[in-house]
């Protein structure tokens, strides 16, 4: 690296290089130009506080990018994630380990992803691994997104698993081609001096094993656990082609269900779920596709059923409940209780909102053990029966279709674990 003569032409470039500990990073460099306009061997790494003297070759986006890349310089990384002052050689040699890498690397990648969103067609190069020259090879960002398809082939002895990539309508060969995954969080693949990005969220580690391997083999002895965990998760997120087992996709009209859960000495609540055909799911899923696995032992056949869920619609049902005066008791499991503004307990709330819920398409179920609760409107009828010189006053409590003498209700002590049973 040499000093740049600002009286001679120069150019700002961005350089991707592999740090021996932190992985692939990016740096901004000013490179002196030769008389014929090509890049010389004289260059200077620049930062936000040193780039102003080269302002004539920068635009507003460059300033944003350089600011982001300041945070990726190793001294700044150490300063941010290690409280005590330490030299880089001591930090990486004595302190840095795989746990620190796993904590830091995703945060660095988020910066890189923001830079790649901004960089457009600005000059981008691959740094030399031999001497660190920032403009060793010119790089290009692929004009289109790449798609991925995962394959499974099951036979009598094993299941083989591998991905295929497609770019611009054609299969892209990437195995045994010196390809490298430079970002894992949202995969970016470097192949033949081209940076490929993908048309859906994809972790780079889904590609890494296949850079130098045709497939992964899973034996019959371990396939059940493999199918229940890895394969099920993969089918939820990605397109999968299978031979040797079935994948079915269904799309059913969903029904929102509220289940009343009675808690003897606690706070009773409503549990929200959604039914799609024969399948029931809790709310708050991150995936539009949910997968159920069934194994037919007689036929030795695995069947994965993909259920397409409408997450936007599910969210609207939750908002509807909250608009009626409920609040979430437990976000993970979808439990709801009254917000306390109008109703004090879930039974009172449900009695008043039942008709509105049913009209909105909700189903209401009970999980109350041996307890039976009436949910609905109640009324009280007063009758006067005259007979010669006397009369009786009779009161009846109406619980829906059930008419019960009020004296039966009044005799029930509110603190006893008893109830009134319909005739």
Domain for residue 337, yes or no?
yes
Task: Please give the torsion angle defined by the CA atoms of residues 326, 332, 333 and 335, in that order, rounded to the nearest 10 degrees.
Answer: -20
Domain for residue 67, yes or no?
yes
366-376 pLDDT, tens per residue?
875 555 554 55
Do 135 and 55 lie in one domain? The reply is yes
pLDDT, residue 392, reads 62
110-126 pLDDT, tens per residue?
999 999 999 999 999 99
C-alpha span between 369 and 340 (Å, rounded): 26
Mean pLDDT across 49-68: 95
Domain for residue 4, yes or no?
no
Do 54 and 172 lie in one domain? The reply is no
Do 406 and 307 lie in one domain? The reply is no
C-alpha span between 420 and 402 (Å, rounded): 11
Domain for residue 5, yes or no?
no
**Burial of 309 (C-beta count, 10 Å sphere; 0-12/13-18/19+):** buried
pLDDT, residue 418, reads 42
Question: Global pTM?
Answer: 0.75
Do 200 and 264 lie in one domain? The reply is no
394-417 pLDDT, tens per residue?
655 554 555 556 555 555 444 444
Do 305 and 360 lie in one domain? The reply is yes
Q: Which tokens is 72 given?
A: 């990726």
Of the three residues 345, 367, 389, the one that is the final residue of a domain is: 367
Please state, rounded to an integer, the average pLDDT across all residues of the chain: 88
C-alpha span between 59 and 62 (Å, rounded): 5
Q: Which of 206, 152, 137, 143 is nearest to 174 (CA)?
A: 206
β-strand partners of 195: 141, 190
SS3 105: helix
Q: Are 229 and 304 in contact (CB under 8 A)?
A: no
Greater pLDDT, 296 or 392 = 296
Do 201 and 86 lie in one domain? The reply is no
151-205 pLDDT, tens per residue?
999 999 999 999 999 999 999 999 999 999 999 999 999 999 999 999 999 999 9
Q: How many domains does the chain have?
A: 4
Q: Which domain range does residue 357 map to?
A: 254-367
Domain for residue 372, yes or no?
no
Do 185 and 154 lie in one domain? The reply is yes
C-alpha span between 96 and 231 (Å, rounded): 34
pLDDT, residue 266, reads 82
Q: Percent of the chain beyond pLDDT 90?
A: 70
225-235 burial code (b ≥16 CB/10 A, e <16): ebbeeebeebb
pLDDT, residue 400, reads 52
Of the three residues 113, 139, 165, the one that is the final residue of a domain is: 139
242-290 pLDDT, tens per residue?
999 999 988 888 899 999 988 877 888 999 999 988 888 888 777 788 8
Beta 240-243 vs 147-154: how paired, if at all?
A: parallel
Do 65 and 161 lie in one domain? The reply is no
pLDDT, residue 386, reads 64
C-alpha span between 160 and 88 (Å, rounded): 44
Do 118 and 159 lie in one domain? The reply is no
Do 382 and 401 lie in one domain? The reply is yes
330-389 pLDDT, tens per residue?
766 788 999 888 888 888 899 889 999 999 999 998 875 555 554 555 555 566 566 656
Do 42 and 102 lie in one domain? The reply is yes
Rg from Cα positions in the chain: 33
Q: Are 181 and 196 in contact (CB under 8 A)?
A: no
Q: Are 233 and 214 in contact (CB under 8 A)?
A: no
Domain for residue 135, yes or no?
yes
SS3 284: coil
Do 280 and 360 lie in one domain? The reply is yes
Greater pLDDT, 390 or 237 = 237
Count of H helices and E strands in the chain?
9, 26
Of the three residues 95, 118, 139, the one that is the final residue of a domain is: 139
Domain for residue 421, yes or no?
no
Mean pLDDT across 22-39: 96
C-alpha span between 39 and 19 (Å, rounded): 23
Domain for residue 423, yes or no?
no
β-strand partners of 147: 166
pLDDT, residue 72, reads 96
């Amino acid at each position: 690296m040499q000093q740049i003569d600002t009286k001679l032409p120069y150019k700002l470039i961005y350089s991707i290089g592999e740090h021996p500990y932190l992985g692939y990073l990016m740096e901004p460099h000013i490179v002196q130009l030769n008389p014929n306009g090509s890049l010389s061997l004289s260059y200077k790494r620049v930062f936000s506080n040193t780039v102003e003297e080269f302002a004539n070759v920068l635009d507003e986006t460059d300033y944003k990018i350089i600011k982001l890349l300041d945070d990726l310089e190793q001294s700044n990384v150490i300063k941010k994630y290690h409280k005590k002052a330490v030299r880089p050689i001591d930090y990486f040699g004595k302190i840095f380990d795989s746990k620190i890498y796993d904590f830091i690397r995703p945060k660095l990648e988020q910066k890189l992803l923001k830079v790649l969103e901004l960089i457009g067609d600005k000059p981008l190069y691959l740094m030399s691994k031999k001497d660190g020259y920032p403009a060793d090879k010119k790089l290009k960002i692929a004009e289109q997104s790449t798609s991925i398809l995962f394959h499974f082939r099951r036979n009598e002895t094993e299941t083989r698993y591998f991905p295929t990539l497609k770019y611009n309508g054609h299969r892209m060969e990437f195995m045994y081609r010196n390809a490298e995954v430079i970002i894992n969080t949202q995969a970016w693949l470097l192949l033949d001096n081209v940076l490929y990005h993908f048309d859906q969220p994809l972790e780079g580690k889904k590609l890494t094993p296949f850079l130098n391997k045709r497939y992964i083999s899973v034996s019959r002895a371990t396939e059940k656990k493999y199918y229940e965990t890895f394969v099920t998760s993969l089918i939820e997120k990605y397109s999968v082609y299978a031979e040797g087992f079935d994948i079915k996709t269904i799309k059913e009209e969903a029904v929102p269900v509220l289940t009343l859960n009675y808690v003897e000495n606690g706070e009773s609540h409503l549990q929200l779920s959604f039914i799609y055909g024969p399948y029931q799911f809790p709310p708050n899923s991150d995936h539009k596709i949910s997968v159920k696995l069934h194994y037919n032992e007689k036929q030795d056949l695995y069947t994965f059923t993909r259920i397409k869920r409408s997450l936007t619609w599910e969210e609207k049902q939750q908002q509807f409940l909250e608009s009626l005066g409920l609040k979430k008791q437990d976000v993970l499991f979808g439990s709801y209780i009254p917000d306390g503004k109008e109703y004090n307990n879930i039974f009172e709330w449900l009695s008043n909102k039942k008709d509105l819920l049913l009209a909105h398409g909700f189903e209401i179920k009970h999980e109350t053990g041996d307890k039976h609760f009436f949910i609905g409107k109640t009324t009280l009828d007063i009758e006067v029966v005259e007979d010669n010189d006397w009369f009786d006053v009779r009161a009846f409590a109406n619980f829906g279709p059930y008419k019960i003498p009020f004296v039966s209700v009044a005799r029930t002590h509110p603190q006893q674990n008893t109830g009134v049973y319909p005739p």
